[in-house]
A and B are shown apart, each in its own frame.
Chain A
Amino acid sequence: MTTASAPVLEIRDLSVSFPTETGTVSAVDGVSLDLAPGEIVGMVGESGCGKSVTAMSIAGLLPGSARVTGSVRLDGTQLIGARESALRRVRGREIAYIFQEPMTSLNPVLTVGRQIGEVLQVHERMSRRAARARAVELLTLVGIPSAALRVDSYPHQLSGGMRQRVMIAMAVACGPKVLVADEPTTALDVTVQAGILQVLRDLRDQLGTSVLIITHDLGVIADIADRVVVMYAGRVVERAPVDDLFANPRHRYTAGLLSASPQPGRHAGTDRLTEIPGLVPVLASQPDACTFADRCPAADQQCREAAPPLEGIGGTDHVAACWHPCTTAPTAPTAAQEANR
């Protein structure tokens, strides 16, 4: 879904680095991204590519030692460098988060009703009683049966899928404009995953919430996302509508990701999954070169001497940062195949 309306979230040239004992580590470098109202954008990449750091920096949730530059605008309001009190009013109310581990992300000693109600008490000035009543409604909304009973449960009394639904209920309690879901299904069974993704889709449809979903699972992306952002070593390397990306990956890294992912029709023994050799580099500073060059089969001198710009190839919706983009689709699964597996 590509809308012409103004983006609700506008990230421009976002860079994040952390001072460590062995020197500065650059985690995110010049990331730009728009999120239109009601749009679901998937952010994909290997562990350590800067996905989560990008997500956390949106509402200023990184530790104080992080150095963040660039711009994050929510409906035009600048969030980078905003006062802590202003950010607190944004967190949970306009930008809400769902995290990976629903067991550890919920407070074990408070009932789920209390944890959901807390958001309403602080942002909507609801009484504890009213917040609890609303929590029951929210639990029903995210598909928890007998919510009136469940509201008094503690997290350990619920299954993993239920806990993640509680996290979602908590996140959408104030009807946020943006929902950031950081690996929301990674810790869950596949069957439970599908249910959670359906809840997210329903919420987008009902509440018009924009969703930024972060995952390393291409199946999840294919299932739910309208657009995809591929990140590598802190940079956006490719951005495209979901079908376009799966059908026609441009960046060599995207192509590598796709062919490293299993799909119907390719069987063990006849076809092997292709792995991308090497690891995501940890960079002290961002070089003026393609950071994927060391792992790329098509890399040459140019790749090591200049960083490729993020350029439109064909349609303007599809951009990739590669000097030698793929021209034809490799043996990559289509979005439909990915979603069905």
Chain B
Amino acid sequence: MARYLLTRAWQSAVTLLLSTIVVFVGVRALPGDPALALAGEDRSPEALAAIRQHYGLDQPLPVQFAQYVERMAQGDFGVSIRTGTPVSSMLTTALPVTVELSVLAILIAAALGVGAGVLAAVRRGRPAEWLANGLALIGLSVPHFWLGLLAILYLSVATGLFPASGFVPILEDPVDNLHHIVLPAVILGTGLAAIIMRQTRSAMLDSLSSDYVRTAKAKGLRPRAVITRHALRNSLIVVVTVVGLQLGGLISGAVVTEQIFGLPGFGKMTIDAVFQRDYPVIQAVVLLTAAAYIVINLLVDLLYSVIDPRIRVTGEPA
């Protein structure tokens, strides 16, 4: 186990370094010049040169990269070219928003998706399955930005049940925080629930027709025990895989939802940074997203071996 974690840590470090290089080069390959974006009215060569010098943009790329990695290793993500605030403080405000939104959305999605998936499999060919399948189809095909707009229109603007936008940190006022985040989380979660439901349903259909479920029935177990302990336990690998992938996607990709609900999260920060060629911010965001993916993947792999004893973690590289 320790050896496995060590191997994985080593692999993760390599992955992180590679993604850092790709982003560093990629960002600079984009058309556009941050000095121009910052200079505003005064576009004299002197002013531009001063800006470039100030942010180290006049250095050769390898030197810039070396400096960047060195600072990053010390926890210094640099200063935003656009706002002048340290990137690390931008992250500490944006990250909790996105993490809270993502975790809440994935919990809602998993509860809805697994529940509906199990129901659809158990009640195969009956109205409950048609209903679950129909709802899943809607959840998959309706874009959630549109759902979000509808929700704002009817649940916020018309009735005032929920705030239309904004965010309150959880430490400031937990109730108000939940009030602000629950609507976007539900909107985000329903789309994901549809995918979880489809996957859970097909995995459950497999397990329910398996020999060990027949054995469980022959033992005289209650349907509940047969479904949860025997069939669902064996379907969880699929569920965990889907949820893991989705959670990774959410950390970087709740962009649209954050934008619609005016949540000051990662997504909003990324969009602003890309438009302004704010190199340090983009780099930090991508690096953090990559790190999140790596950690989530590791957790998923570790969970596999908890769920299914046939899967053993070893020190061998995969």
A92 → chain B closest CB, angstroms: 4
Q: Are A93 and B215 in contact (CB under 8 A)?
A: no
Q: A122-B225, A154-B309, A154-B310 are in contact. Are A108 and B219 (CB under 8 A)?
A: no
Q: Are A91 and B212 in contact (CB under 8 A)?
A: no
Q: Are A92 and B212 in contact (CB under 8 A)?
A: no
Give CA–CA (A110, B308) in the complex, Å: 9
Task: Determine whether B47 belongs to the interface, using a CB cutoff of 8 Å to chain A.
Answer: no
Name the A residues within 8 Å of B218 (CB-CB): 59, 61, 91-92, 96-97, 99
Q: A107-B230, A110-B233, A156-B309 are in contact. Are A91 and B211 (CB under 8 A)?
A: no
Q: Mark A89-113, 1 if CB is under 8 A from B, else 0.
A: 1111100110101001111111000
Q: Mark B206-232, 1 if CB is under 8 A from A, else 0.
A: 000011101111111110010001100
Within 8 A of B (CB), among A201-248: none
Q: Are B310 and A122 in contact (CB under 8 A)?
A: no
Name the B residues within 8 Å of A67 (CB-CB): none
Within 8 A of A (CB), among B54-108: none
Name the B residues within 8 Å of A61 (CB-CB): 214, 217-218
Name the B residues within 8 Å of A29 (CB-CB): none
Q: Are B309 and A105 in contact (CB under 8 A)?
A: no
Name the A residues within 8 Å of B234 (CB-CB): 107-109
Q: Are B222 and A99 in contact (CB under 8 A)?
A: no
Interface residue count for B (Cβ, 8 Å)?
21
Main secondary structure of the interface of A (DSSP, over half): mixed
Task: Determine whether B307 belongs to the interface, using a CB cutoff of 8 Å to chain A.
Answer: yes
Q: Are A101 and B211 in contact (CB under 8 A)?
A: yes
Give CA–CA (A180, B39) in the complex, Å: 86
Q: Are A109 and B222 in contact (CB under 8 A)?
A: no
Interface residue count for A (Cβ, 8 Å)?
27
Name the A residues within 8 Å of B309 (CB-CB): 108-109, 154, 156
Task: Determine whether A73 belongs to the interface, using a CB cutoff of 8 Å to chain B.
Answer: no
Q: Are A91 and B219 in contact (CB under 8 A)?
A: yes
Partner of B211, one of A88, A105, A109, A118: A105
Name the B residues within 8 Å of A106 (CB-CB): 212, 215
Name the B residues within 8 Å of A109 (CB-CB): 233-234, 307-310
Q: Are B212 and A122 in contact (CB under 8 A)?
A: no
A40 → chain B closest CB, angstroms: 19
Q: Are B211 and A97 in contact (CB under 8 A)?
A: no
Q: Are A107 and B216 in contact (CB under 8 A)?
A: yes
Task: Determine whether A170 belongs to the interface, using a CB cutoff of 8 Å to chain B.
Answer: yes
Name the B residues within 8 Å of A93 (CB-CB): 220
Q: Are B219 and A122 in contact (CB under 8 A)?
A: yes
Give CA–CA (A177, B210) in the complex, Å: 26
Partner of B212, one of A88, A89, A107, A123: A107
Give CA–CA (A109, B222) in the complex, Å: 19
Name the B residues within 8 Å of A332 (CB-CB): none
Q: Are A105 and B215 in contact (CB under 8 A)?
A: yes
Q: Are B221 and A122 in contact (CB under 8 A)?
A: yes
A178 → chain B closest CB, angstroms: 12
Task: Determine whether A119 belongs to the interface, using a CB cutoff of 8 Å to chain B.
Answer: yes
Give CA–CA (A158, B309) in the complex, Å: 13
Partner of A97, one of B215, B230, B233, B310: B215
Q: Are B219 and A105 in contact (CB under 8 A)?
A: no
Give CA–CA (A123, B229) in the complex, Å: 17
Task: Give B residues with C-beta under 8 Å from A.
Answer: 210-212, 214-222, 225, 229-230, 233-234, 307-310
- Please name 7 pairs of A and B residues whose Cβ atoms are closer than 8 Å in the assembled complex, sorted by A: A88-B222, A99-B218, A101-B211, A105-B215, A109-B307, A122-B225, A156-B310
* The 10 nearest A-B residue pairs measured at CB: A92-B220, A91-B220, A92-B219, A104-B211, A97-B218, A107-B212, A105-B211, A154-B309, A88-B220, A105-B215
